[in-house]
Amino acid sequence: MTIDDRSQIPAARRIVVKVGSSSISGENAGQIGPLVDALAEAHGRGAQVVLVSSGAIATGIPYLALESRPSDLATQQAAAAVGQNVLIYRYQDSLDRYDIVAGQVLLTAGDMENPTHRSNARRAMERLLELRILPIVNENDTVATHEIRFGDNDRLAALVAILLDADLLVLLSDVDALYTKPPQEPGAERIEHVAYDDALEGVTIGATGLSGVGTGGALTKVSAARQAAERGTAVVLTATTLVTEALRGEAVGTWFAPAPVAASGAMTFPVPASEAAAAS
């Protein structure tokens, strides 16, 4: 179904929710419980829910006795190998309260670019949803390289929403909405609604986030929201602390209206970090 406005969110058939590293790791690890509460509520009313979760590297950092996010690829991969295990355990431990089983799905950008791998991923996730399993998707950081990364899970979430023909994509972070300028700056105003063809003229969008553990920012979230909206998926951008309200259709965050007729054609993919750097 097409979600034309927030009031239809409770009737959404299929929902993809993306949460960032800073929201569920470190001192914010306790937010996993309330996040799961919101997901379980949507699941309980019959929706098929997919969670795209960052946080493997950030979760693994303290177990490797590191003081900050590593900059070299090998240590990032090692942190992800440890952190992904811990992260999934934390989610499943919380989901057990609702008798919901999680299914882990790890993807690389190469998987989404390869038609066979993409088809396999879709088939697996479709079957998990049919079986009322809650897929938890993350980038496969243990095998990904700088050249073939999504770069951030906002893009991954948009691609998963498109792949699964989701009705709604909810992009969560530590900021409650999109603002006319970075929210910490004086005079920043919250944007409640973005039409599918709104060029956001006069809006200053920051390229980085507020924390030091993630890789995304407002720029990547807006890009991901536009990509999903162009393919007919409604998008809400808001804070992790407001996920319950967002999934109930309340007026929180920023609403990105879906295109009246979803754009046709092949899926588009994130530009590899090396190419993006060369183009900037």
Please report, in angstroms and rounded to a whole number, the separation of the first and last CA atoms in the chain. 38
Helix (H) / strand (E) element for 48: namely strand 48-53
For residue 153, say whether it is annotated as part of any ligand binding site. yes
| CB 192 within 8 Å of CB 254 | yes
Residues 144, 158: Cα–Cα separation, whole Å: 19
For residue 114, say whether it is annotated as part of any ligand binding site. no
Contacts of 165 (CB under 8 A, 6+ apart): 14, 232, 233
CA distances from 222 to 57, 206, 218 (A): 24, 10, 6
Structure token pair of residue 210:
């507020």
For residue 174, say whether it is annotated as part of any ligand binding site. yes
For residue 221, say whether it is annotated as part of any ligand binding site. no
Q: DSSP label at 3?
A: -
Q: Phi/psi of residue 147, each to 5°?
A: -80, -20
Residues 149, 147: Cα–Cα separation, whole Å: 6
Sign of CA dihedral 194, 200, 202, 206: positive
Q: Residues at the annotated binding site for ATP?
A: 18, 173-174
Q: Residues at the annotated binding site?
A: 18, 54, 141, 153, 173-174
Q: Residues at the annotated binding site for substrate?
A: 54, 141, 153
